[in-house]
Amino acid sequence: MIHNHERAYIRHPADIPLEVSPTSQTVCAGAIRNLSRGGLSFSCAVPYSPGQDVDLVIRCCPNPLEVRGQVVWCEPKDGGFEVGIAFYSPGDAYQVRMVEQICQIEQYRRDMLAREGRDLSIDQAAREWIERYAHQFAQGDWSDE
């Protein structure tokens, strides 16, 4: 269990859209704030109870990723809540990490079109993003132990 969530999560520049639903309840739309090997935190308008199982869906790439986690903390923040989730397996954390990278590359592609008028293919955007930002993204040890 993560005792100090302030140091356990790596901060990233973009907020990744996330859908969260407790078993048999309505979906909450939120945004991933921090992501680590063991879990993530997200912002949401409604509170969640520690110990509660939740299904997470990330839809920012062509094939949505679905994983299950457990709420480990929930704190009021900015008129809503920030919720900490622990993954059930390191494989789930790795999948979320890869989807986050895809989302950031797609955002980079949109930013280059808006700022510089360059309409990059996904491959071009990936190459540029990796050259510019991969070293920042690779913070922390994400290899299997």
For 9-89, CATH gives 2.40.10.220
Instruction: Give the C-alpha separation, 119 to 111, whole Å.
Output: 10
Give the pLDDT score at 37: 75
| Termini Cα distance of the chain | 17
Give the pLDDT score at 10: 34
Instruction: Give the C-alpha separation, 111 to 93, whole Å.
Output: 27
Q: What is the pLDDT along the chain (145 residues), one digit of tens a residue?
A: 333 343 333 334 446 666 676 654 556 777 777 777 788 888 888 889 999 998 888 877 667 788 889 999 999 998 999 999 999 888 888 888 888 788 888 888 888 999 999 999 888 988 988 888 777 766 544 433 3
CATH 2.40.10.220 domain extents, the chain:
9-89
pTM above 0.85, yes or no: no
Give the pLDDT score at 85: 92
Give the pLDDT score at 141: 43
Give the pLDDT score at 130: 86
Instruction: Give the C-alpha separation, 112 to 128, whole Å.
Output: 10
Give the pLDDT score at 21: 61
- Residue with token string 């140091």: 7
Instruction: Give the C-alpha separation, 53 to 48, whole Å.
Output: 10
